[in-house]
Chains A and B, each alone.
Chain A
Amino acid sequence: MFLAMRELWFARSRFGLMGGVIALIAVLMVLLSGLSSGLVEDGVSGLKQLPVDGFAFEEETEIGSSFSRSRVDEEQLQEWRDQPEVAEAALFGNLLVNARSDNDVPIDLALFGVEEGSFLEPAVHEGEGLGRQDGLVVSQSAVEAGIAVGDVLTVDRLGAELKVVGALENQHTYGHVDVAYLPLKTWQEIYAGVSTGQEADPAVYTEATAVALLAEPGEEIDHSAGDSAAGTMSLPLEGTFAASPGYSAETSTLDLIKAFLYAISALVVGAFFTVWTIQRKHELAVLRAMGASTGYLVRDGLGQALVILVVSCAIGLGVGMGTGSLITGSGVPFLLEGAAVATAVVLLIVLGLLGAMAAIIRVSSIDPLTALGGQR
C-alpha cells in the first residue's frame, strides 16, 4: 500500500471524481433501500405482524389475487386443523373497503376478519379489543391519519356502520392501506354485501378468504399434505406478500433499479481502473523490471480500490442516512433498515472491487521489457 496511498494523494482530483460518483451511487442505494423497505412495510406490514406461518387459499388461486379472489370454508379449516404439525388454524377474512368517519375523514381500510379469541386476535395498544360485533381495532397509522377511538366509520355503498373501539401499537398496513381488525362474523356480512341489521344466508357465515396456519413449535407446515387433504393452495407467510396489491410490481421495479446501480458502480470502478492502469503502463513495466511481483502490484491496486470504495461509500452512507432521516415521517413510505442498508453498501464495495479486479489483473500481462527505451 506504500505506492497506492501516495498515488491516491498525488492523483486525488482524479480519484476524487470517481469517488464522488461512487458516493452518489451509495446515496442513491441508501435512499432506494429505504424506499424499498418502506414500500414493503406499507404493503405487507399487516401480514408480517400476524402470528402466522402460512395461509391456505382456495385451490388454483393465482398468487397475485389470492387475498382478493380466494374463498375457503369451515370444512377446509377442519382438514387443516387435523394436520399433525398444525398447532392452530383459523379462518381469516381480508377485504379492501373505502370508508368515511363521522368527522368526514375518508379512509381506505383493509378489513381483517378474525374470530374473537382465536390466535389471530391482535393485542390492543389503546382502547378495547375485539368484542362488540361492530367494533373495529385499527392500525396506529389510521390513528395518525385522523381516526380516533370512538369514531364511527361508515363503509361506502354498503352503509355498514363500524365503531372504532381500539388501536394497535404499530403500523399495520396491507396494500398501502391501513388494517382494521373486526369480528369474523361482521366481516362475513360485509363481504357478502349484507346490509346492517339483516340476517344473511347461513352459508355466508362459513366462508372466509383463507385459512391462517400456525405450526407447532420447531415444526414446519407440510404444505402438500395439507393441500391435498383440504383441497387448498397454501403458501408460507412470505409467499403471500406477493398477493398484496402492487407488491411484486414495486419490489421488482426497485430491485431492477438497484441491480442497474450495482452494475453501473462496478463498471465505473472497472472503467476508471482500466484507464488508470493503462495510463501507468510504463511505470508498471518499470516496477516489474525492478522485480515487483504480479501479486504485489495486484494487491497494491486492489488496496487502492478498496480505500477509495470504502471512503466513498462511507460518505455516501452518511449523506444517504441524513437525507433518509429527513424523508422519514414525511408521508413517503420510507424505512431505513440497518441490514438492508448494510447489504447494499457491502455489495457496492464488493462489486466495485470485482470491477477493479477485472482491470487491475492486466498488470500481469505487462511486459517489463517495455521499460527499456529504444525497444530492442
Chain B
Amino acid sequence: MTITAASNTEPIHEGDRGLLLEGVTLRLGDGDTTVTALDEVSIAVRPGELVAVVGPSGAGKSSLLAVAGALTVPDSGTVRADGRDITGLSKRARARFRREHIGFVFQSGNLLGALTATDQLRMMTHLGRGGTQQDVQRLLEEVGMGDKANRRPHQLSGGERQRVGIARALMGRPAVLLVDEPTAALDRARSHEIVRLLAQETKRSDVATMMVTHDHDVLEYCDRTVRMTDGRLSE
C-alpha cells in the first residue's frame, strides 16, 4: 500500500520507520456533547524530518499528539509508528510501545524535580527505554548541557530545562519524537535556540519529529508545516 499523506511529495511505505496517520478520527466527550477533535486526519512524518503543526487553540493539535503518541486510541483510522500499527493495542501494550518507540518533549520540559540532569536521562534506562551511560553523556553534550549535568530542574533556566527534556526524549533512540509547545515558556532568542536544536537532533538521530506549536517565528527551522483547523489538517 502506498499513500500520499497531506499532499506530501514523497510517498511513505507501510513498514517504514517514521510516523503515519491515516484517516484518523477522534471524538471527545460523550452523548450529545461529542466534539470531533480529529476529523479524518492523515499525515506522514519520515525519519529525519521535523514537521510543525500550527493552528489556533482547540483546533485538535494536542489530540493529534495524543493519538500519534499512543496515549489515546482513535475512534477510526490507523496510526503507525516505527512500522507498527498501534491502534489495536491494549493500555499496557501502548505503555510498552511508548517506552520503546516514542519520545516526548513537553511544555517547559516537565522534568522530575528530584533528579539531576544526568539522572533525568538515566531514569529512562530504569523505565526500560534503553540507552547507556555513554548515551547519557553524549546526549547531554549534544544539547549543550554537558557542564550542567549535575543540576536539578530548579537550578536550570527554562531553556536549559527544555534542552534536558530533549536529551531525555532521545534516550533509547525512539523512532518518533513528539514535541508539545516547546517554546511556550521561552523568550524569542531561547525559542529559536530550542527549535534549532530540535531540527539538529532530528537529523542527527534520524527521528520522525512532529512538533505542535503556536509560535510562527520558529517555523523556518522546520522541514514542513501543516495547519490544523477544527480537527482538519491542511498544508
Q: Which residue of chain A has the shortest Cβ distance to B126 in the bound complex?
A: A2
A283 vs B165: C-alpha distance in the bound complex, in angstroms? 13
* Any A CB within 8 A of the CB of B99: yes
A286 vs B57: C-alpha distance in the bound complex, in angstroms? 22
Contacting residues, chain B, for A369 (C-beta < 8 A)? 66, 71-72
* Any A CB within 8 A of the CB of B37: yes
Contacting residues, chain B, for A10 (C-beta < 8 A)? 113-115, 152
Question: Is A376 in contact with B63, judged by CB distance below 8 angstroms?
Answer: yes
A374 vs B184: C-alpha distance in the bound complex, in angstroms? 10
Distance of A233 from chain B, by nearest CB (Å): 62
Distance of A187 from chain B, by nearest CB (Å): 72
Interface size counted on chain B using CB atoms at 8 A: 42
Q: Which residue of chain B has the shortest Cβ distance to A285 in the bound complex?
A: B110
Q: How does the 8 Å CB contact mask read for B81-113 relative to A, with 1 for contact and 0 for none?
A: 000000000001001111110101011101011
Question: Is A372 in contact with B65, judged by CB distance below 8 angstroms?
Answer: yes
A27 vs B98: C-alpha distance in the bound complex, in angstroms? 47
Question: Is B71 in contact with A291, judged by CB distance below 8 angstroms?
Answer: no
Contacting residues, chain A, for B206 (C-beta < 8 A)? none
Considering the complex, which residues of chain A in the window 188-244 have a beta carbon less than 8 Å from any beta carbon of chain B? none
* Any B CB within 8 A of the CB of A3: yes
Q: Which residue of chain B has the shortest Cβ distance to A8 in the bound complex?
A: B114
Considering the complex, which residues of chain A in the window 276-291 have a beta carbon less than 8 Å from any beta carbon of chain B? 282-283, 286-291
Question: Is A289 in contact with B57, judged by CB distance below 8 angstroms?
Answer: no
Question: Is B71 in contact with A289, judged by CB distance below 8 angstroms?
Answer: yes
Q: How does the 8 Å CB contact mask read for B125-138 relative to A, with 1 for contact and 0 for none?
A: 01111000000000
A49 vs B178: C-alpha distance in the bound complex, in angstroms? 75
Contacting residues, chain A, for B129 (C-beta < 8 A)? 290-291
Question: Is A373 in contact with B104, judged by CB distance below 8 angstroms?
Answer: no
Contacting residues, chain A, for B57 (C-beta < 8 A)? 374
Question: Is B107 in contact with A373, judged by CB distance below 8 angstroms?
Answer: yes
Q: Which residue of chain A has the shortest Cβ distance to B116 in the bound complex?
A: A6
Considering the complex, which residues of chain A in the window 1-30 have a beta carbon less than 8 Å from any beta carbon of chain B? 2-3, 6-7, 9-11
**Interface centre among B112, B122, B124, by most A CB within 10 Å?**
B112
Question: Is A293 in contact with B92, judged by CB distance below 8 angstroms?
Answer: yes
* Any A CB within 8 A of the CB of B28: yes
Question: Is B62 in contact with A375, judged by CB distance below 8 angstroms?
Answer: yes
A11 vs B112: C-alpha distance in the bound complex, in angstroms? 12
Q: Which residue of chain A has the shortest Cβ distance to B66 in the bound complex?
A: A369
Distance of A305 from chain B, by nearest CB (Å): 16
A282 vs B58: C-alpha distance in the bound complex, in angstroms? 21
Question: Is B127 in contact with A291, judged by CB distance below 8 angstroms?
Answer: yes
A283 vs B37: C-alpha distance in the bound complex, in angstroms? 26
Question: Is B114 in contact with A291, judged by CB distance below 8 angstroms?
Answer: no
Distance of B62 from chain A, by nearest CB (Å): 5
* Any A CB within 8 A of the CB of B60: yes
* Any B CB within 8 A of the CB of A319: no
A287 vs B97: C-alpha distance in the bound complex, in angstroms? 14
Contacting residues, chain A, for B114 (C-beta < 8 A)? 3, 6-7, 9-11
Interface range, A side: 20 to 34
* Any A CB within 8 A of the CB of B80: no
Contact check: which of B63, B107, B110, B127 meets A292 at CB < 8 Å? B127
A7 vs B66: C-alpha distance in the bound complex, in angstroms? 28
Distance of B17 from chain A, by nearest CB (Å): 18
Contacting residues, chain A, for B69 (C-beta < 8 A)? 289
* Any A CB within 8 A of the CB of B160: no
A269 vs B106: C-alpha distance in the bound complex, in angstroms? 32
A9 vs B113: C-alpha distance in the bound complex, in angstroms? 12
Question: Is A376 in contact with B110, judged by CB distance below 8 angstroms?
Answer: no
Contact check: which of A11, A291, A368 meets B100 at CB < 8 Å? A291
A374 vs B56: C-alpha distance in the bound complex, in angstroms? 11
Contacting residues, chain A, for B106 (C-beta < 8 A)? 286, 289, 371-373
**Interface centre among B96, B119, B123, by most A CB within 10 Å?**
B123
* Any B CB within 8 A of the CB of A260: no
Question: Is A372 in contact with B62, judged by CB distance below 8 angstroms?
Answer: yes
A9 vs B119: C-alpha distance in the bound complex, in angstroms? 14
* Any A CB within 8 A of the CB of B180: yes
* Any A CB within 8 A of the CB of B181: yes
Q: How does the 8 Å CB contact mask read for B44-78 relative to A, with 1 for contact and 0 for none?
A: 00000000000001101111011001011000000
Question: Is B181 in contact with A374, judged by CB distance below 8 angstroms?
Answer: yes
Contacting residues, chain B, for A282 (C-beta < 8 A)? 110
Q: Which residue of chain A has the shortest Cβ distance to B180 in the bound complex?
A: A372
Question: Is B127 in contact with A287, judged by CB distance below 8 angstroms?
Answer: yes
Distance of B42 from chain A, by nearest CB (Å): 19
Question: Is B180 in contact with A2, judged by CB distance below 8 angstroms?
Answer: no
Contact check: which of A2, A7, A296, A371 meets B110 at CB < 8 Å? A371
Question: Is B128 in contact with A291, judged by CB distance below 8 angstroms?
Answer: yes
Contacting residues, chain A, for B98 (C-beta < 8 A)? 289-291, 368
Question: Which B residues contact A (CB, under 8 angstroms)?
Answer: 28, 37, 57-58, 60-63, 65-66, 69, 71-72, 92, 95-100, 102, 104, 106-108, 110, 112-115, 119, 122-124, 126-129, 152, 180-181, 184
The 12 listed contacts between A and B (C-beta, < 8 Å) are A3-B114, A11-B114, A289-B106, A290-B98, A291-B98, A291-B100, A293-B95, A368-B95, A369-B71, A374-B57, A376-B28, A376-B66
Add 17 more A-B contacts to A372-B66, A374-B181 (CB < 8 A): A7-B114, A10-B115, A10-B152, A286-B110, A286-B112, A287-B112, A288-B95, A289-B106, A290-B104, A290-B129, A291-B98, A292-B99, A293-B95, A296-B128, A371-B106, A374-B57, A376-B28
Of all A-B residue pairs in the complex, the 4 with the closest CB atoms, nearest first, are: A291-B99, A10-B114, A373-B107, A291-B98
